[in-house]
């Protein structure tokens, strides 16, 4: 895989967030800049975390902990306090190498999530990344439900030179996965990306269908390195917890991709998700171009969340 420049993450997140940084920086810097650490300071810091969708439980616990630490080791100045908070947020996230260590010749990326989070766009961006690294990529158009979903992913396959396996709309997504597995084997592909239909986690028959698709992949590609990633929209509120829990329970998850970080939403829900499920965030979607998919780094994420 092509290495992302070491300084790439922060600069891209920052440039993606540059339009909003002014307004976002204001409350944080106001709180830190006051230089007084009274009840009001802690309440305002907690609100900033809640405002980032971290949820009340995670926000309260993190602030309480920092507050205790600050009593024992008083921060010299507000900059130091900010670093403590940043480190505490980063520590909640589980570090994980993107693809993990493995010897398999084929890596399968199974993309799942609720409707409209950006699975198809992420599939396209992943295909670009893998192709740029010199890999042979097969994409499975396993969203056979949404109108024109197949056409949409076909455009991405075309742009990135990936081989597309598709059936007709309304077809069986497990059958698409089956054919895609065969195609990946026949072509000696390095990567197989499965784009699935969005589904709310409360729809049991649709969740069952997803399990069936994964079953086909594990059965047909026993030697492959299979990763199931939940694609989550950064604007998601507390329902993100229910999403991650339900998908993890039903099909088993290996990680999260957080999309749409180029807006004003901070995506703090992934902190709550990491605490509840132990799932790592692997990548971030930061825009609409093919290159806007970057590796996750917990320190940079925590910094961006507070900046």
Do residues 189 and 163 touch, judged by C-beta distance below 8 A? yes
209 near another protein, rule: CB under 8 A: no
H-assigned helices in 133-188: 149-160, 173-186
Q: How many CA atoms lie within 13 A of 78 on its CB side?
A: 14
Question: Rounded CA gap, 159 and 154, in Å?
Answer: 9
Using CA atoms, how far residue 50 sits from 54, 92, 109, 128, 191, in Å, is 5, 15, 32, 35, 38
Residue list 108-127, contact with another protein (CB under 8 A): 114-118
163 near another protein, rule: CB under 8 A: no
**Stretch in the footprint of another protein (CB under 8 A) among 63-71, 75-83, 142-150, 186-194:** 142-150
As a residue count, the chain comes to 307
Residue 255 — φ and ψ, nearest 5°? 180, 180
252 near another protein, rule: CB under 8 A: no
**Stretch in the footprint of another protein (CB under 8 A) among 90-98, 102-110, 187-195, 237-245:** 237-245
Looking at residue 146, the DSSP 8-state letter turns out to be: S
Residue list 260-299, contact with another protein (CB under 8 A): 260, 262-266, 269, 288
**Stretch in the footprint of another protein (CB under 8 A) among 7-15, 77-85, 93-101, 232-240:** 232-240
Q: Which of 193, 198, 150, 192 is nearest to 171 (CA)?
A: 150
Q: Which of 205, 222, 278, 289 lies at the binding interface for another protein (CB under 8 A)?
A: 205
Q: How far is the CB of 257 from another protein (least distance, A)?
A: 14
Map residues 165-204 to x or -, x wherever contact with another protein holds by CB under 8 A. Answer: ----x------------------------------xxxxx
Question: Which 3 state secondary structure label does DSSP give 117?
Answer: coil
Q: Which of 2, 15, 19, 35 lies at the binding interface for another protein (CB under 8 A)?
A: 19
50 near another protein, rule: CB under 8 A: yes
Question: Rounded CA gap, 283 and 277, in Å?
Answer: 17
Is 16 or 226 the residue whose CB approaches another protein more closely?
16
Q: How many CA atoms lie within 13 A of 218 on its CB side?
A: 10
Question: Rounded CA gap, 294 and 205, in Å?
Answer: 33
Is 46 or 190 the residue whose CB approaches another protein more closely?
46
Contacts with another protein, residue ranges (CB under 8 A)? 19-20, 47, 50-53, 55-56, 114-118, 145-149, 151-152, 154-156, 169, 200-208, 233-240, 242, 246, 260, 262-266, 269, 288
């Amino acid at each position: 895989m092509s290495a992302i420049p070491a300084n790439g993450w922060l600069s891209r997140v920052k440039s993606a967030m540059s339009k909003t940084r002014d307004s976002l920086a204001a409350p944080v810097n106001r709180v830190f800049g006051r230089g007084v650490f009274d009840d009001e300071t802690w309440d305002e810091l907690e609100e900033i975390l809640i405002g980032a969708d971290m949820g009340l439980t995670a926000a309260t616990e993190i602030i309480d902990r920092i507050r205790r630490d600050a009593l024992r080791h008083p921060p010299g100045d507000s900059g130091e306090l900010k670093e403590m908070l940043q480190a505490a947020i980063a520590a909640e996230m589980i570090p994980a190498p993107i693809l993990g260590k493995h010897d398999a010749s084929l890596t399968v990326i199974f993309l799942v999530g609720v409707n409209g989070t950006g699975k198809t766009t992420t599939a396209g961006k992943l295909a670009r990344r893998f192709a740029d690294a010199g890999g042979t990529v097969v994409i499975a158009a396993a969203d056979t439900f949404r109108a024109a979903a197949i056409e949409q992913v076909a455009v991405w396959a075309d742009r990135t030179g990936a081989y597309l396996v598709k059936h007709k709309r309304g077809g069986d997504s497990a059958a698409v996965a089956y054919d895609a597995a065969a195609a990946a084997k026949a072509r000696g592909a390095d990567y197989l990306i499965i784009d699935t239909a969005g589904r709310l986690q409360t729809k049991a028959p649709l969740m069952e269908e997803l399990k069936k698709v994964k079953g086909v992949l594990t059965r047909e590609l026993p030697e492959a390195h299979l990763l199931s990633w939940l694609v989550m929209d950064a604007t998601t509120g507390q329902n993100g917890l229910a999403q991650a829990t339900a998908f993890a329970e039903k099909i088993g998850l290996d990680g999260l991709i957080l999309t749409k970080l180029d807006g004003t939403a901070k995506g703090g829900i992934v902190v709550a998700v990491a605490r509840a499920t132990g799932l790592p965030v692997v990548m971030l979607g930061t825009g609409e171009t093919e290159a806007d998919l970057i590796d996750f780094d917990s320190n940079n994420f925590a910094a961006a969340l507070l900046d």
